[in-house]
Amino acid sequence: MSLFTDAGQMVAEQIQWAKTPLRQLQGLIGQDIRLNEALLLPHCPQVHTAFLAYPIDIAFCTGSEKTGYRLLSVQTLAPWRVSRFVPGATLAIEMRASSPLPSLEAGCHVTLR
């Protein structure tokens, strides 16, 4: 499964879901992901980068897998930081820094295909 904007731009070629509380807490710790990979964390309005060896881009979204997601906020975090809390976020998308996420505007729609 991949992540696309409504305009057809591929954001992430491969995605992983972090659906359990333990997997969400672990996030990208200990993983060396490529620029075209993303970790999706449902029901996640804030993330941390403790123990990460590299900076990440994070998009916070609202919506659902069926209807698609609307971007609320995009942030880039260095290791050992905590993101801003994003009220209403139903999904966090984590990717390695320099991903396509920062080029997306708040309000942009993304879907899984």
Band (47; pLDDT cuts 50, 70, 90): very high
Do the Cβ atoms of 104 and 60 come closer than 8 Å? no
pLDDT of 26 over the 90 cut: no
pLDDT of 27 over the 90 cut: no
> Tell me, what CATH number does 75's domain have?
2.60.120.1140
Overall domain count for the chain: 1
Q: Which domain holds residue 32?
A: 3-112
DSSP annotation of 84 reads P
User: Can you list the positions of beta strands (E) in the chain?
Assistant: 3-5, 10-12, 14-17, 37-42, 56-64, 68-77, 91-96, 109-112
Question: What mean pLDDT do residues 97-101 have?
Answer: 93
Longest dimension (CA), the chain: 35
Indicate whether this model's pTM tops 0.75. yes
Do the Cβ atoms of 64 and 40 come closer than 8 Å? no
The pLDDT value recorded for residue 30 is 85
